Chains A and B, each alone.
Chain A
Amino acid sequence: MLVELFITLVKILFIFAVTVGFFAPVLTWVERKQSALMQDRIGANRADIMGFTVLGLFHIIADALKMFTKEDFIPDGANKVLHTISPIIALVPALLTFAVVPFGGQYTLFDTEVNLVISDLDVGLLFVFAIASLATYGYVIAGWSSNNNWSLLGSMRTASQMISYEVTMGLTIIGVLMVYESMKLTEIGAIQENFWMWGIFLQPLGFIMFLTASIAENKRIPFDAPEAESELVAGYFTEYSGLKFGMFFMAEFIEMVTIGAIMTILFLGAWHIPFLTTATLLSWFDFLGTTGSNLVVMLIHVGVFFAKVCFFIYLQMIIRWTLPRFRYDQIMKLGWKILLPLSLANILVTGLVILALN
């Protein structure tokens, strides 16, 4: 009991360290460097400590200092309570998803089974979906409580966009469920030990639609109509400053990691290396003993998992700096007239193929 509690705590700390401590700050820097690279600029390189710039990495510290020391401003006529809690409501779902995300398989360390997932829920995949649908409130309330028309317009767009793309997301998930016959993310990950069972081969259309829908849910370009700075100043977070703005910012970056993690588990073989089963890997490191070989394999798997997550983050960055912003009506048209029928057709075809194979 005590050992289980300790293991769970370590896993929670690890997830926090990786997302809040590593990915969120480093991605702000990566995004700047990536945009500079793609626009033939040099990018963030000015912040220095005693003359050292280290590729502009000190900008992370500078940004953090700036956010902490900025005046925390609440506009006149705004709903103070809601204005203050809405960044929290936006940030929490982004982190909460990781409760069911497995970042490795099962390993035997010191005679105890270690399952690298914080909570192995029977309804894991639906949990992810439920949390994603709750994230809407943070943005909607933020815009409404600011007492600003730009903000209100931004949050209206957020609400309609997120509802529209949730439909596609939910229907795509059904395709994945039908193929793997499980809602447990750990089981879905375990099945993909076989390279030809990877979701990207079994659900190619689902892969593309899920990626599109999740980028739209995260409101990044080309789906950033809710914050469109050339139309709405900054959309739902126009009236936010300092650390509260920082939380919206962080939520976006952490959500990128979340999307990467979910995509990796559903479509890209989770923590597995192609054509290499866990048993083979274990036998390679047999000379280290049970605990030793399990430990090495665990580290390899976690490394592989996060490498795949990084690939998806990179993909999202490339998309963000390649495409222009879609117009609002184009976003709605894509969601309801193209993605929705396609996802329904995907379910039908998946069902027919499963029926034919049986």
Chain B
Amino acid sequence: MELLIFYPLAGFCVVLALGVVFNNSPVGSALSLIGMMLGLAGIFVLQQAHFIAILQVIIYAGAIMVLFMFVIMLLNLKKGDDMGWVARDKNLLLSVLTGVLAIGILYKISDILFSAKIDTPATLPDSFGTVANIGETLFTDFVLPFEVASILLLAAMVGAVVLAKNKLD
């Protein structure tokens, strides 16, 4: 039953993810990305992670992508406005950083894949994925990363305000 929902959903996500990359119009790309986020939220629900799924919808599909759409429309890019993929000037630092990031992600994924016992899934406690449970974990075991992340966000917010203010003055 779970697989019956998982495979169409996963296929949907992969097709839309490819759509983001191969679409010629920026709005089409953005819409594919939104669709993929929603599909991903569906997969989270399938994993009993309702809270994560709903956050995925609120933050990525609901807030960030609306902003993307807003910017795309503000620039009013249309199909044929020379939106093909253009090779940028080579930036060694960027290439190296991206390479390191990609290798790191691949390593972590393979690590998880090979160490997991896929045939014998662990039984989940009843409270798994509930808001109360996540809140408790977040504010006890992971309180330091949580606070660090919030300070990072605050710094980013202040930075954005300062940048905008400099332009206005």
Contacts and interface: CB of A to CB of B under 8 A. Distances in A.
Interface of A: 82, 121-123, 126-127, 129-130, 133-134, 136-137, 140-141, 144, 152, 155-156, 159-160, 162-163, 166, 170, 183
16 contacts: A122-B50, A122-B129, A123-B50, A123-B54, A129-B58, A130-B58, A133-B57, A133-B58, A133-B61, A134-B61, A136-B62, A136-B66, A140-B73, A144-B69, A152-B73, A155-B73
Contacts of B131: 122-123, 183
B52 to A, nearest CB: 10
A159 B70 contact: yes
B149 interface: no
B66 A126 contact: no
A130 B55 CA distance: 8
Contact of B73 (A123, A156, A163): A156
Contacts of A152: 73, 76
B130 interface: yes
Given A127-B54, A152-B76, A163-B63, A137 B69 contact: yes
Given A137-B69, A170-B58, 13 more contacts: A126-B51, A126-B54, A126-B58, A130-B62, A133-B63, A136-B66, A137-B34, A137-B66, A144-B27, A159-B66, A159-B70, A159-B73, A163-B67
Contact of A134 (B57, B67, B73): B57
Interface residues of B, number: 22
Contacts of A162: 66
B73 A144 contact: yes
A278 B50 CA distance: 31
B31 interface: yes
Interface string B61-97: 1110011011001101000000000000000000000
Contacts of B51: 122-123, 126
Nearest to B63: A133
B42 to A, nearest CB: 13
